[in-house]
Chain A
């Protein structure tokens, strides 16, 4: 049995099941609506997940373009990073693919004495999880930065315009006086 080949052959089914597992991390009523509505603008989360997971799966199978992997991850992680999840819950979707692949191919590979193929593929998924962690952290940092800059920006500009403080003029202090 060639795991790599099987994954490519069965990618459509895998992508569907991966999406299914991802959607299960949301309440049932929500899942129903997000599965049903295929409009990318009135159902941006459901449709982004559908499209980005499929793209990500292909990139993982191909495993040659780190930047593209990171971009595909960003589409999903950016959303989950601001939803009501703990960090581990937000990133659990990577491990859901691990579960999917194990449950599907473990026995077969064990019988064929080819479990090493699974370990090799799982190494990719471990790397994928670390990449997802980077993206997640970047998103959270951005949220905190936006909080700080919103406050800083508003206060400073107001003081300046109310002529309570002044900006440093151009040129050296000795020349500007």
Chain B
């Protein structure tokens, strides 16, 4: 008879559940399904003039890099260090104090030390030290320097595409190092050897071709808007006119295309249209500047500049006085921090002034572009809107500060002011998870693609955790946000971490509460769900 002598640890010996003890430089990047995004298609790269397009997969051993890839990277690094003083400072100034270490949503959710912002930046810095500093050249590893080998490049690809450029870590850095810009530079270097992702490059190519990320052509864009006008009529009984590509209006309205084609963004779009109708705004939309977002920001500064240029070009062509912008995230980082030097100042435009209240938006004196929650908050403050917040009584609302409007432009009070005026039930998530300290949706910076779902759930954990808390404590069932990427990526995030909470933009809630002149008695909200008290 066989002997079944059991040793105490035999059962779980076969499972290696402890991580390696080696230093971070000696732990190679692990590509697993769910932690990387699909590479860009070669034809897409060709179209936008990016080099070294090819069919390859991060999961393969051979990445089919160009033969002289090391020289290409070295040269590209040198050029950027000379061109961007900020990059040189960010490479030199970090003292590795660790203040940022546990601030990244990806680190918090995954526990992977290379998601610590300090270590992520160190992936680039180690090569910088080796190639561009005397101490690094001489002392090598002792000075935290290392030679750029293929494994290092693979590590760059993995981890710089595990950063959403949300800048939560920068908030805690005593030197104010902008880690988003470090990621931007690393992605630019990766572009040089054809290592980039399709979820970014294809929207960039589409945007160049049709003016928006999805490649919606002008007639289809108009059809979609008409469809929404139909829906608004069904809900309110009122037919709304949406001016498109019309010259001679006062304002050009630009919003992310996500509001036009994706649920639940479209309900926010309907809210905009209803608002403009209610106040009789003299505006037009454009099928050419049909995209407020700018995926160029996630891949290359020259491309970002090019895609951004259409906003001013179209404002000029249509002869408007100023631009009103919709609820978008990174669009506002571009507008607030880069547009002025990219393509400004737009002297042909005028200082934005609300035609309804007379308020002058001096904060937009230079860019000539106003955020719609600033605009709407001002309308409400001056009592220019007829509102019935009880139409949102079926919602208990919380607000997710979208990273870029919060940290990139300090837009913190206006969205809350609007929500509190159009909803009766509003509760904040815990203080350490909102406003400047807000947690990312984990799908920004071009990472909101389905093959990245595991990583998105990891990175979405801190937001989801705070959301679950207010769901359980106050019965929150709706999370409002002011970013089109949020409106897409927060949906599965909420499903997984705080089931039962729906996502919406703020102007969807405005649209529900807004009383239009001559409207019929409403039975349903913008999603055509029964209003409170009308369920029968």
Contacts and interface: CB of A to CB of B under 8 A. Distances in A.
Contacts of B15: 88-89, 92, 95
Given A41-B469, A99-B9, A157 B102 contact: no
A41 B8 contact: no
B17 A92 contact: yes
A115 B517 CA distance: 81
Given A44-B462, A147-B453, A161-B227, A154 B113 contact: no
A4 interface: no
A82 B101 contact: no
Interface stretch (B49-57, B103-111, B415-423, B524-532): B103-111
A157 B17 CA distance: 44
Contacts of B491: 150
A27 B113 CA distance: 7
A30 B432 contact: no
Interface stretch (B216-224, B329-337, B381-389): B216-224
A44 B108 contact: yes
Contacts of B266: 157, 161
B144 interface: no
Contact of B102 (A43, A83, A96, A161): A43
Interface in B227-244: 227-228
B261 A45 contact: no
Nearest to B462: A44
Which of under 10, 10 to 19, 20 to 34, or 35 or more describes the interface residues of B? 35 or more
A52 B396 CA distance: 27
Question: Which interface residue of B11, B111, B261 has the most chain A CB atoms within 10 A?
Answer: B111
B450 A82 contact: no
B169 to A, nearest CB: 13
Contacts, number: 142
A95 B465 contact: no
A18 B264 CA distance: 43
A33 B457 contact: no
Interface in A9-58: 24-30, 33-34, 37, 39-45, 48
Of A37, A45, A82, A158, most B-chain CB atoms within 10 Å: A82
A34 B111 CA distance: 9
Contacts of B34: 82, 143
Interface string B394-428: 00000000000000000000000000000000000
B110 A146 contact: no
A28 B110 contact: no
Contacts of B30: 84
Given A28-B21, A92-B12, A43 B108 contact: yes
Contacts of B497: 78
Given A41-B430, A82-B457, A103-B8, A29 B110 contact: no
A162 interface: yes
A83 B465 contact: no
Contacts of A160: 227
B273 to A, nearest CB: 14
Interface in B460-491: 461-462, 465-466, 469, 488, 491
Interface residues of A, number: 49
A143 B492 CA distance: 8
Contacts of B340: none
A30 B496 contact: no
A41 B465 CA distance: 7
A150 B263 CA distance: 10
A151 interface: yes
A41 B497 CA distance: 13
B454 A143 contact: yes
Interface string A83-101: 1100011001001101100
B261 A158 contact: yes
A153 B228 CA distance: 17
B111 A83 contact: yes
Contacts of A163: 223, 227
The CB with the most chain B CB atoms within 10 A, among A84, A88, A89, is that of A84
B462 A95 contact: no
A63 interface: no
B347 interface: no
Given A45-B108, A143-B457, A157-B261, A98 B496 contact: no
A41 B466 contact: yes
A26 B261 contact: no
A131 interface: no
Contacts of A26: 19, 111
Given A41-B430, A45-B108, A45-B111, A33 B223 contact: no
B223 A142 contact: no
Interface in A102-125: 102-103, 106
Q: Among A27, A29, A142, A161, find the residue whose CB has the most chain B CB atoms closer than 10 A.
A: A161
A84 B262 contact: no
B527 to A, nearest CB: 13
A42 B102 CA distance: 8
Contacts of A59: none
A60 interface: no
A41 B109 contact: no
A89 B16 contact: yes
A7 interface: no
A139 B110 CA distance: 16
Nearest to B452: A147
B429 to A, nearest CB: 8
Interface of A: 24-30, 33-34, 37, 39-45, 48, 78-79, 82-84, 88-89, 92, 95-96, 98-99, 102-103, 106, 139, 142-143, 146-147, 150-151, 153-154, 157-158, 160-164
- Nearest 9 A/B pairs, CB to CB: A44-B465, A146-B492, A92-B17, A82-B457, A30-B111, A147-B450, A95-B12, A26-B111, A102-B8
Interface of B: 8-9, 11-12, 15-19, 21, 30, 32, 34-35, 101-102, 107-113, 116, 214, 216, 220, 223-224, 227-228, 261-263, 266, 430, 432-433, 450-451, 453-454, 457-458, 461-462, 465-466, 469, 488, 491-492, 495-497
Given A102-B9, A157-B263, A158-B262, 8 more contacts: A27-B19, A40-B469, A44-B462, A45-B461, A82-B457, A83-B111, A146-B450, A162-B223
7 contacts: A27-B19, A29-B116, A37-B102, A45-B109, A103-B8, A154-B262, A162-B223
